[in-house]
Amino acid sequence: MQIVYSADHARQHGRGELTDGRLMPVVEKPARAEMVLKRAQEVGLGDIMPPRDFGREALVRIHRPDYLAFLEGAWAEWEAERGGETDCLPLIWPVRNLRAVCPTHIDGKVSYYALDAGTPITPGTWTAARASANVAMTAADLVADGTRAAFALGRPPGHHATADQLGGYCFLNNAALAAQRLLDRGAERVAVLDVDYHHGNGTQAIFEDRADVLFCSLHADPKQEFPYFLGHADETGTGAGEGYTVNAPLPWGTTAEAWMAALERLCQRIESYAPDALVVSLGVDTYKGDPISRFALDTSDFPPIGARLAKLALPTTFVMEGGYAVEEIGVNAVGVLQGFEG
């Protein structure tokens, strides 16, 4: 399998995320990608290549220009105000009974463009986020060129990012950019299957009103788990996209058996959609040892996931999402890809 990787991921290294009532060291850190790369090399998964730069015109296929301008300039504005001693994080949101008019001060702007306080903007965020997006689009291009499968080994992850919001450790929606790239390269229909522990609220929001992208996700029930405010089973798409969003929320403690049964249902929906290509949002935070998650998959449960996806017999772009058990993330993520290769 072709692997796309950029060392620029390491430019995103946040100091703190707000969790459990306090500012804690981030869990979405450079060692994650390094461990996956190390494992891919150990098992000889495939050739590793750098991304190409698709530029802003590719990003605006999915993201709002004002959001991209904010991301590009946020650190400089924060540093001018705070001296760069701390990461840039929001403190208030335009929730019920407030108005979502974008402020001019950085404190207000980050609150307008962020959906949580767990996603620090740092000096290297813009560089790292663009590299991750370019990694995903380069992998999609390889697939559009006829490669059976490619792995976008990037971070920061993307599936929580919407057209105009960062959050859940995500800034640019790498999977959505990959799906759009496949469509722009000639695919008529693309399925996005999100197997991360958390619901891919960003990807769903981006594609909810479209029929050319089928979004399927299995994830921890938002009644119990982040992102809390999207990912319920009754969300089935809007307008022209009605019927093209499929959510399978699962309770804390979900075992491999129940998880695989849900995967089977989503795979059958993908088969009936008959897409030209598949994008997999590959999170391995479903692992039982994940520090922030509560599913019960073991390391031996990951290769069968890949094997089931291979049976779809679709040109497939894997895009790295979550997984925070750093010691095991390589074996688990690469395990899915080895299972896919058979």
- Which parts of 198-257 interact with Zn ion (CB under 5 A)? 198
The binder of Zn ion chosen from 14, 167, 202, 283 (CB under 5 A): 283
Closest CA to 220 of 134, 307, 283: 283
Q: Is 9 a catalytic residue?
A: no
Stretch of 138-146, 192-200, 231-239, 332-340 contacting Zn ion, by CB under 5 A: 192-200
Interface residue list for ligand SP5 (CB under 6 A): 19-20, 118, 157, 159-160, 168-170, 196, 198, 226, 283, 285, 292, 321-322
**Greatest extent of the chain over all pairs of C-alpha atoms, in Å:** 55
Q: Which residue is catalytic, options 9, 160, 199, 219?
A: 160
285 binds Zn ion, rule: CB under 5 A: yes
Query: Which of ligand SP5, Zn ion, none has residue 157 at its interface (CB below 5 to 8 Å by kind)?
Result: ligand SP5
> What is 197-265 written as a DSSP string?
SS--HHHHHHHTT-SSEEEEEEEE-TTTSTT-SS--TT----GGGTT-EEEEEE-TT--HHHHHHHHHH
Query: Which of ligand SP5, Zn ion, none has residue 222 at its interface (CB below 5 to 8 Å by kind)?
Result: none
- The distance of closest approach from Cβ of residue 168 to ligand SP5 in the complex, given in angstroms and rounded to an integer, is 4
Phi, psi at residue 246, to the nearest 5°? -130, 115
| Helix count and strand count (H, E) for the chain | 10, 10
Query: Which of ligand SP5, Zn ion, none has residue 292 at its interface (CB below 5 to 8 Å by kind)?
Result: ligand SP5
- The distance of closest approach from Cβ of residue 90 to Zn ion in the complex, given in angstroms and rounded to an integer, is 20
Name which of 14 and 322 has its Cβ closer to ligand SP5.
322
Question: By the 8 A CB rule, do 128 and 12 touch?
Answer: yes
Closest CA to 33 of 151, 124, 150: 151
- The distance of closest approach from Cβ of residue 125 to Zn ion in the complex, given in angstroms and rounded to an integer, is 19
Residue 304 CA to residue 320 CA, distance in Å, equals 18
Identity of residue 238: T
SS (H, E, C) 221-240: CCCCCCCCCCCCCCCCCCHH
Stretch of 14-22, 39-47, 277-285, 304-312 contacting Zn ion, by CB under 5 A: 277-285
- The distance of closest approach from Cβ of residue 159 to ligand SP5 in the complex, given in angstroms and rounded to an integer, is 6
322 binds Zn ion, rule: CB under 5 A: yes
Phi, psi at residue 156, to the nearest 5°? -60, 155
Q: Which residues are catalytic?
A: 160
Task: List interacting residues with Zn ion (CB under 5 A).
Answer: 196-198, 283, 285, 322
